[in-house]
Structure 1
Amino acid sequence: MNEKVKKIIEFMDKNSLDAVLIAKAPNVYYLSGTSPIAGGYILVKDDSATLYVPELEYEMAKEESRLPVEKFKKMEELYKILDGVKALGVEGTVSYAFIEDLKEKANIKEFKKIDDVIKDMRIIKSKEEVELIEKACEIADKAVMAAIEEITEGKKEREVAAKVEYLMKMNGAEKPAFDTIIASGYRSALPHGVASDKRIEKGDLVVIDLGALYRHYNSDITRTIVVGSPNEKQREIYEIVLEAQKKAVESAKPGMTAKELDSIARNIIAEYGYGEYFNHSLGHGVGLEIHEWPRVSQHDETVLREGMVITIEPGIYIPKLGGVRIEDTVLLTKNGAKRLTKTERELI
């Protein structure tokens, strides 16, 4: 039996569930090895798992899936398959409307979230998953270097983003992992400053934040540069962020909590007097989703473990002046953190 399915069945037994229904695309892919574009459902029931897909997805799913595949034409067929199920495990992302339909049309009485068991599996990456993330990071590294070359006075942020996204696809990416951030000048103080029509000016800080999606797995990297020579303030905040990022990467190891790791970088920035300008978490897990477990923040007591892939991305953002962020995707090994994104960090 598929080991991942086995863990779900164990969860069902412990929680007196008759079945588990999985609909979230990354989870469907994680368990089956295929990702139906038009959607699909994995039903775990009677000590087995089956992938149900619309008819137009059937041939591809049958070819790719590690699970048996069945097709359905309309939701009523799925409701019939659930006949007799009284207690159903579902993901927390399932809509209220779908739950109401399951109550009414499949006569299901009880629901329980299964997020914890899936989280526990997905939070540790297998060797094969790490290899795919490494490839996604390699593509992202190339894209960052291309962005640095493209950034010149007078060019629009959106033009730079278009070039690097094209390059990522030419190097094997399915698509960008998220909307590419090229944020220059005052916009570099916006942590999510997605590329705009603003023209890059001499003296601008420019935050470059991008990632590649490669065979379902993501990467994430941020570098910050100055167009021309940095002024004293720009250099100061850059050096503080670089120190915080390097220290956090050097300190990351299994056994510490996500909160403790966040505090290492946060305390360095606060000691220099810029604590109020670091206004997001230190990082997040990366894998089938660009943001997944753990959340490397002051609110996450998750104990870091070997095999986790996370980002480490401290920043300082000063309104009207600009911002600096430096980010790497790293793998936690028994010996500490291994940087999977390798572009030079000392860019100023």
Structure 2
Amino acid sequence: MTVRPFTTKDYARRMERAVSQAAGAGLTGVLVTPGPDLVHFTGYRPTAITERITLLVLDADHDPHLIVPVLERPDAAAAPGAAAVTITDWADGSDPYAAAARLLDPRGRYALSDSAWALHLLALQEALPESRYTSMTATLPMLRAVKDADEVDRLAAAGAAADAAYEQIVRVRFAGRTETDIGTELAGLLREHGHSQVDFTVVGSGPNGANPHHEMGDRVIAEGDMVVLDFGGLKDGYGSDTTRTVHVGPPTEQERTVFEIVRQAQQAAFEAVQPGVACQDIDRAARKVIEDAGYGEYFIHRTGHGIGLTTHEPPYMVAGERQPLVPGMCFSIEPGIYLPGRFGVRIEDIVTVTENSGRRLNNTSHELRIVE
């Protein structure tokens, strides 16, 4: 799938939406620092994130302003969204916080990127003692959560690439090889299918599969092992994240039973997806299936997390999250059962909310795959 480059208009719309959402939350504006937020709004990713402040100021009283160190101005000016902002630079030896303060309301209340350095926040507070700052996730958790069509296309392409990697890895021999061997080969397949970055490869065999974040180790996979494969990274700047559980040789009756419970839980959560449903109800749908089957205590994590420029971001499918689903939201559905000392099972797809239901962005089979 060929993805369309984002345009100046795309970035301008995102910044306008941020200003509108901030006003709706009773905020003066939004302050964006290097990291996924800055990439989302401008396409600019500084070569190095240092003690020199870079700050995008978004509010209703000014055009978007990007404050950068003078030595980084050429890179900032070359960013895809640079035409939608006014760039102001500062030189070493000058006071960048005074430059920033001139653009801020002395008594304003701003949402600040979670990735902001404490050094910069404290300096802004010193420059403007009556200003106030709050976490962007705490006050504007949906700022990047609702994706436009081009972002969904990129997530779909990343999901298809991860699916292709899975279809290849299940054809190799598992028995007699270490988890690290399989994980390294899986990472190579992700890159082969277009991933520029591999964020994780969980290969949890046998009892290691009961640890959801085991990643991979030196354990030799053996006949009779259940193996959890959870892997993802970035393709064209957007994330993939999928989990499938395979079995080396014929499974036991209990292994089949547990696998089927997880499969049904994943399906129930997917079928619950529709606009207006609370995020926590997706978690409840999956958890009810597992609890009714008697394995509730072995489902030890939330059902899902958002995905976009990073593989974990809001919204979260977890008890207490009442944020309603909105078309364009993209998140994982990944229930699991983990039996300590024995094995684990997890099935995960990335899902996007449509106008009336949900659409899977991972499309490999949910059946228990038998590998050699």
Q: Could you say if the C-alpha distance between residues 305 and 107 of structure 1 is closer, same or farther in structure 2, counting changes exceeding 3 Å?
A: closer
Compute the RMSD of aligned alpha carbons: 2.3
Aligned to 2:40: 30
Contact 1:248 1:261 in 2 (8 A): yes
Deviations 1:40-72 (A, max 9, x none): 321236411122334554333322232333444
Separation of aligned partners in 2, 1:5 and 1:114: 17
73, 76, 86: which one pairs with 1:68? 86
182, 194, 199: which one pairs with 1:160? 182
SS of equivalent residue, structure 2 residue 170 = helix
Identity value in percent: 31
304, 323, 345: which one pairs with 1:324? 345
User: Are positions 1:225 and 2:240 aligned together?
Assistant: no
By how many angstroms is 1:170 displaced?
2.3
Contact 2:141 2:315 in 1 (8 A): no
- 208-217 vs 221-230, which moves further: 208-217
118, 123, 127: which one pairs with 2:145? 123
Q: Could you say if the C-alpha distance between residues 13 and 235 of structure 1 is closer, same or farther in structure 2, counting changes exceeding 3 Å?
A: closer
AA paired with 1:128? D
By how many angstroms is 1:345 displaced?
1.0
TM-score of the superposed pair, with normalisation by structure 2: 0.85
Deviations 1:214-258 (A, max 9, x none): 122111100001111101111110011111111221231112111
Separation of aligned partners in 2, 1:7 and 1:186: 47
Aligned to 2:74: 59
Deviations 1:67-109 (A, max 9, x none): 33344444844213124442352234434443222233x3443
Aligned to 1:234: 255
Separation of aligned partners in 2, 1:55 and 1:146: 48
The aligned runs of 1:171-320 (5 Å cut-off) are 171-176=193-198, 178-320=199-341
Separation of aligned partners in 1, 2:212 and 2:366: 18
SS of equivalent residue, structure 1 residue 280 = coil
Q: Could you say if the C-alpha distance between residues 184 and 117 of structure 1 is closer, same or farther in structure 2, counting changes exceeding 3 Å?
A: same
By how many angstroms is 1:142 displaced?
1.5
SS of equivalent residue, structure 1 residue 130 = helix
Q: Could you say if the C-alpha distance between residues 15 and 331 of structure 1 is closer, same or farther in structure 2, counting changes exceeding 3 Å?
A: closer
Q: Could you say if the C-alpha distance between residues 239 and 22 of structure 1 is closer, same or farther in structure 2, counting changes exceeding 3 Å?
A: same
User: Are positions 1:47 and 2:62 aligned together?
Assistant: yes
TM-score of the superposed pair, with normalisation by structure 1: 0.91
By how many angstroms is 1:4 displaced?
2.8
88, 95, 113: which one pairs with 1:91? 113
Contact 1:62 1:68 in 2 (8 A): no
- 110-119 vs 251-260, which moves further: 110-119
